[in-house]
Amino acid sequence: MDFSLLDQHIINGLVLGVIYAMVAVGFTLFFGVLNVIKFSHGDVLMAGSFAALIASLFLSQLGEFPTWLNLCISLLFAISIMATLGTLIAQHLVLPLRGAPPLNTLLITLMLGLAIREAVRLFYPNGSNPKPFPRLLPENSWIIGTMEIRQDTAIIIVGGLLAILILNLAIRKTRLGLSIRAVAQDPETARLMGINFKRIVLGTFALGSGLAALAGVANGLYYHEIIFDRGLFLGVIGFSAAVVGGLGSLLGAIIGGFLFAFLQTIGAIWFSVPAYKDVFAFVVIIMIMAWRPTGLLSEINSDRV
Amino acid sequence: MKKQDKYLVTYCEILLTSTITTILVVAFLIVEKEMLLGAIIGLGILGFFIAKGRGIPHKIDQVYREHPCVFYLTIVSPVIIAIVFCRHEHFALFMIASVAIYATACLGLTLQLGYTGLTNFAGAAFLGVGGYTVAVLTNQSIPNVLVILLGGLMAAIIGSLLILPVLRTRGHYAALVTIAFALLFKTFLEINDTLGGPQGLKIASFKFFGLDFNEPLLGSSFYLSYVIAALLLMLVVFIITRLIEKSWLGLHLDAVRLDETVASCFGINIAAWKILAFTLGNFFIGLAGGLYAQMLGHIAPTNFTFADSLILISIVILGGIGNPLGVIPASFLIIVLPEKLQFIQEYRFLLFSILVILVLVYRPEGLLKRGLRSFYRTWGRERKLEN
Amino acid sequence: MKTSLLQVEGLTVRFGGLTALSNLDFKLGEGDLLGLIGPNGSGKTTCFNAITGLYKKNSGSVLLRNKEITHSSPQNIYRNGITRTFQRLRLAIGLSVFDNLVIGDAMHLNTSIYFNVFRRSNLRADIKNRLEQAEEILAFFNPKLIDNIYQPIGKLSMIDRRRIEVCRALISKPSVLLLDEPSAGMTHEETRDFMTDLMEIKIKTPKLGVILIEHEMNVIERVTDRCIVLSYGKKIAEGDYRDVSTNKDVRAAYLGED
């Protein structure tokens, strides 16, 4: 076994883990406050990366900006657009259908995902093909012992972890976070305590979708290219990660994300055909669902009689 | 008005509806100018609202229950007339066959989603299993009809690999399993070289007792044989689905869908019924996929994407979840419309996803709502006669 | 001495750290009508769910006619002759009255594919028999219900739905019937009518054992032979209504006195 290759696998696994965790956190947040799974989440992520791409290209048209400024503006643009989109989805499609059968919500969010995917494919110039994503991060490498790590990779890992950490703190310490936890615990009581249920739900969707946009940008920065149907893959994997960690648990989602990346990396090493990496990931999802239908860290799902 | 006169009027109305619908459908299939097509669609929509205003759908339903001969007269014979009329039009025949094939697959989904409540978001993948089985086996010396049956069987077998997670999960989790399978299947096809990779596979023509389906039949288009085969397949699958619905089997499937707790308190083995519905449904989808592959003559992974699975689900929803008869007009709408109106072809996934969202929000049971179960033709009528 | 039908010994159900039912013992003889009462959350419905196999029992045993059914599946418990109704009505709203009733006798339906798909004339005869069977049981409760046999459940009034649910539980001729708060959502008059029906069932099927969960004390007083009081999952009293209602522990449990 080539050890430098092993290093690369570990670093690659870490990046994937951070991205998956960011997606999984979104799923877990939505499930916590509303008991819904928003299957279009992955496509919001993809749309976020395209929004960042547009902003970045627009800025480079305007003139010479330092890359860090370009990155910050694009990132902010993507996050704010996706947070708005997430809020709109929650307000017009998810909240009004709270009383509908769960199957309908499921179908609607799946169809919405398809609509977002297709809109990007059709309305972005030549959208069916992969688009190069600008390299906005420094590409020098650091050598630590025998290990070589590129700066962009390190920034993605650290930035992603930081974002998750800040979100975690926000949920634990701020008033908004407190309200979100209250709604997740018991929507009725929370409402009686004077918490504006609707606002909390919208806030949660904005938060989760913003994080998805960040994950989308991280994905673009890492692979240097984005494509319209990548969001579907990331969404399914992120959902699986959230399920594995136990839906509704923030920490579980993060653990699930890294666990999933770990399994996928093992798969990549095992098969040595990188193309089978995704096939392997999906086989793992199906096997986990067969083995532990509601996740490894278990979620109570009792039917009240 | 006397009772007999009233019946006469109803019959005339039904006959007229059937004739106009047939003419519009045939015209829609043959005409190529987009202006004319638009006019036909406009007429169709106008006609639909007039018919609805006069309560014709309800009358049709009643008359069909009482007199199946009217059913044959107003549905089966127009289809035959339409086919004879279009016998030289390759494209129209291809469309008719495609609609029949998609409807067959959606009948399989109706069994799963509509009756039993099993979410299967890998419909196109099972279509693909049937198609690829046929593609691999046709070039061996196995009779072609048997090959298509094997395609269905293979879909059922591959489906049974998913049985364990499908049985153990519900709702969102179950959806995740089939979505993962749909993505897995397409990715697998794309990177697997023995199955042709992204380029796909070519399929030799369909032969049935010395009759080559790719040769013109009786001086008409060669698609005619496929149209007949597809319609026969659809008819058989439709009848089986209907018989299942109108029997104790359908009642058990409904009970499983509506309330698993109650079902288990009344001795119903939930797992067994789910296995039956999932396997039989996949078998039907596989059969449809096999015939589809034969007709296309060439299949590739792009024929069986996740978006196609969602299209299949859309047909089931638009047709009214659990309403087998609704599947046929819904397939027509979703398959033929984008093919004829080339300017929406590119946008079809976007348009249909928005359409389905609207239907789900404003008419959650689908466009043609499933009625109450009747076990046989005179069901529910005996009591009224006594009074 | 009546023949023993159902015998529950040391039945305990825990959810995580919460003991929902602890060490419950009771016997039900043929023809008994046993009341199960107690404040909200005292474990009455949990007891039904445990007996019918929906919940796992942590310890204890359930015997039906001396046959061990403690760890049987809900399906097998039903086949052995225990049926139930639910506190919140659980009928299939979209299905017809007939469909809902027939499901109650699912164990006697022929579900072979060959019979259902290819033997249609036999199936049709079978369905006709089932119709008669369903009409018979409806006639017993309320002859007007027969006219609604082809109607969807959604069109019926609350009390009629309750009646249909009891019919569904009775159609398979069980030996034990568990009624989970049938008067919930009914007016006083409706409850009275319903209980009259129940007494008639008792007369027609003298061997049927019934356990009734009920909140209204006058109902318990009127219809039950004996009742059990639960509080926090424990049995705190057992006996006829007069004894129980004067019991000090029972008063404390209901009124919160100590």
- Kindly report, residue by residue over B303-337, the tens digit of the pLDDT: 999 989 999 999 999 888 888 988 998 999 889 88
Q: Which of B31, B95, B133, B123 is nearest to B307 (CA)?
A: B123
Kindly report the number of other CB atoms within 10 A of residue A144's CB atom. 9
Does the CB of C49 have a partner CB in chain A at under 8 Å? yes
With beta carbons less than 8 A apart as the criterion, state whether A164 and A21 touch: yes
Residues B2-24: tens digit of each pLDDT: 667 777 777 788 888 888 888 88
Does the CB of C54 have a partner CB in chain A at under 8 Å? yes
Range in A111-120, B115-124, B340-349, C230-239 the model is least confident about: B340-349
Range in A246-250, B209-213, C54-58, C182-186 the model is least confident about: B209-213
- Whether residue B244 and residue C117 make contact (CB cut-off 8 A), yes or no, is yes
Does the CB of C14 have a partner CB in chain A at under 8 Å? no
Query: How much is the pTM?
Result: 0.90
The pLDDT score that the predictor gives to residue A278 is 79
Looking at chain B, the whole-number percentage of residues with pLDDT higher than 90 is 39
Q: Which of A77, A47, A34 is nearest to A212 (CA)?
A: A47
3-state secondary structure of C84: strand
Task: Domain count for chain A, please give it.
Answer: 1
Domain ranges in chain B with CATH number 1.10.3470: 90-386
What's the whole-number mean pLDDT along residues B22-35?
A: 84
CB < 8 Å to C86, chain A: 305
- Whether residue B349 and residue A289 make contact (CB cut-off 8 A), yes or no, is no
Residues across chain C: 258
Find the radius of gyration of the CA atoms of chain C. 19
With beta carbons less than 8 A apart as the criterion, state whether A213 and A231 touch: no
Binned at pLDDT 50, 70 and 90, residue A305 comes out as very low
- Whether residue C75 and residue B240 make contact (CB cut-off 8 A), yes or no, is no
What's the whole-number mean pLDDT along residues B89-118?
A: 93
In terms of CA atoms, which chain C residue is nearest residue B369?
C94
A259: left (phi over 0), alpha (psi -120 to 50) or beta: alpha
d(CA A132, CA A226): 7
Per the model's pLDDT, the better-predicted residue between B2 and C33 turns out to be: C33
In terms of CA atoms, which chain A residue is nearest residue B257?
A103
Chains touching C (at least 3 CB pairs under 8 A) are A, B
Chains touching B (at least 3 CB pairs under 8 A) are A, C
Q: Where are the beta strands (DSSP E) in B215-319?
A: 298-299
A273: left (phi over 0), alpha (psi -120 to 50) or beta: beta
Find the radius of gyration of the CA atoms of chain A. 19
3-state secondary structure of A40: coil
Across the interface, of B181, B310, B314, the residue whose CB is closest to A286 is B181
3-state secondary structure of C177: strand
Residue B60 in this model has a pLDDT that exceeds 50: yes
The pLDDT score that the predictor gives to residue B55 is 79
Residues A131-173: tens digit of each pLDDT: 998 888 887 778 777 777 888 888 899 999 999 889 888 888 8
Q: Which of A159, A278, A144 is nearest to A217 (CA)?
A: A159
Tokens of A101: 């059968």
3-state secondary structure of C68: strand
Residue C143 in this model has a pLDDT that exceeds 90: no
Tokens of B28: 């829609």
In terms of CA atoms, which chain A residue is nearest residue C89?
A305
A198: in domain:
yes
CB < 8 Å to A263, chain B: none
d(CA A125, CA A273): 32
In angstroms, what separates the C-alpha of A75 from chain B's closest C-alpha?
Answer: 27
Tokens of C144: 């007007």
With beta carbons less than 8 A apart as the criterion, state whether B293 and B132 touch: yes
CATH number (1.10.3470, 2.60.120, 2.40.70, 3.40.50) of B90-386 reads 1.10.3470
Binned at pLDDT 50, 70 and 90, residue A186 comes out as confident
For chain A, the average pLDDT equals: 85
d(CA C243, CA C238): 8
3-state secondary structure of A87: helix
d(CA C159, CA C91): 13
Residues A214-257: tens digit of each pLDDT: 999 999 999 999 999 888 889 988 998 888 888 878 888 898 89
3-state secondary structure of C83: strand
Residue B183, CA distances (Å) to A278, B35, B166 in order? 9, 39, 16
| Complex confidence, ipTM | 0.91
Q: Which CATH architecture has domain C4-81+174-255?
A: 3-Layer(aba) Sandwich (3.40)
Q: Which of A267, A258, A264 is nearest to A296 (CA)?
A: A258
d(CA B275, CA B297): 32
Per the model's pLDDT, the better-predicted residue between C203 and B377 turns out to be: C203
Binned at pLDDT 50, 70 and 90, residue B386 comes out as very low
A287: in domain:
yes
* Burial degree of B67 (CB within 10 A; 0-12, 13-18, 19+): middle
Q: Which of residues 109-138 of B touch A (CB under 8 A)?
A: 117, 119, 121
Residues across chain B: 387
The pLDDT score that the predictor gives to residue A295 is 63
What's the whole-number mean pLDDT along residues A39-67?
A: 90
- Whether residue A232 and residue B261 make contact (CB cut-off 8 A), yes or no, is no
Does the CB of C85 have a partner CB in chain A at under 8 Å? no
Nearest-10 crossing angle of helices B77-85, B3-30: 30
Does the CB of C245 have a partner CB in chain A at under 8 Å? no
d(CA C184, CA B147): 59
Binned at pLDDT 50, 70 and 90, residue B265 comes out as very high
A141: in domain:
no
Range in A90-104, A115-129, B196-210 the model is least confident about: B196-210
DSSP code of residue A95? G
CB < 8 Å to C102, chain B: 248, 251
Q: Which residue is it, tokens 């403690």?
A: C70
What's the whole-number mean pLDDT along residues C173-177?
A: 92
Per the model's pLDDT, the better-predicted residue between A3 and A110 turns out to be: A110
CB < 8 Å to B178, chain A: none
In angstroms, what separates the C-alpha of C120 from chain B's closest C-alpha?
Answer: 9
CB < 8 Å to B314, chain A: 111
The CATH number assigned to the domain holding A271 equals 1.10.3470
Per the model's pLDDT, the better-predicted residue between B173 and B133 turns out to be: B133
For chain B, the average pLDDT equals: 86
Element (H, E) at C238: strand C234-239
Per the model's pLDDT, the better-predicted residue between A269 and B296 turns out to be: B296
Residues across chain A: 305
Residues C36-78: tens digit of each pLDDT: 988 888 888 999 999 999 998 888 999 998 888 888 999 999 9
A296: in domain:
no
Mutation target for C interface from B237, B238, B242, B247: give the one with most C CBs within 10 A.
Answer: B247
In terms of CA atoms, which chain B residue is nearest residue C49?
B265
CB < 8 Å to B171, chain A: 102-103, 106
Residue C169 in this model has a pLDDT that exceeds 60: yes
- Whether residue A93 and residue B361 make contact (CB cut-off 8 A), yes or no, is yes
Residues C207-231: tens digit of each pLDDT: 899 999 988 888 888 888 888 998 8
Kindly report each contact of residues C15-23 with a partner whose C-beta sits within 8 Å and lies 24 or more positions away, as own/partner: C15/A302, C19/C233, C20/C46, C20/C233, C21/C46, C21/C47, C21/C50, C21/C233, C22/C233, C22/C234, C23/C60, C23/C234
d(CA B223, CA B295): 8
- DSSP class per residue in A112-139: HHHHHHHHHHHHSTTTTS-EEPP--S--
The pLDDT score that the predictor gives to residue B209 is 66
Binned at pLDDT 50, 70 and 90, residue B1 comes out as low
Kindly report the number of other CB atoms within 10 A of residue A126's CB atom. 8
In angstroms, what separates the C-alpha of B242 from chain C's closest C-alpha?
Answer: 9
Which strands make up the sheet holding C4-15, listed edge to edge? Answer: C18-29, C4-15, C59-64, C67-68
CB < 8 Å to A305, chain C: 45, 48-49, 54, 86-87
Residue A5 in this model has a pLDDT that exceeds 80: no
Per the model's pLDDT, the better-predicted residue between C139 and B107 turns out to be: B107
Domain that holds residue A241: 3-136+147-291
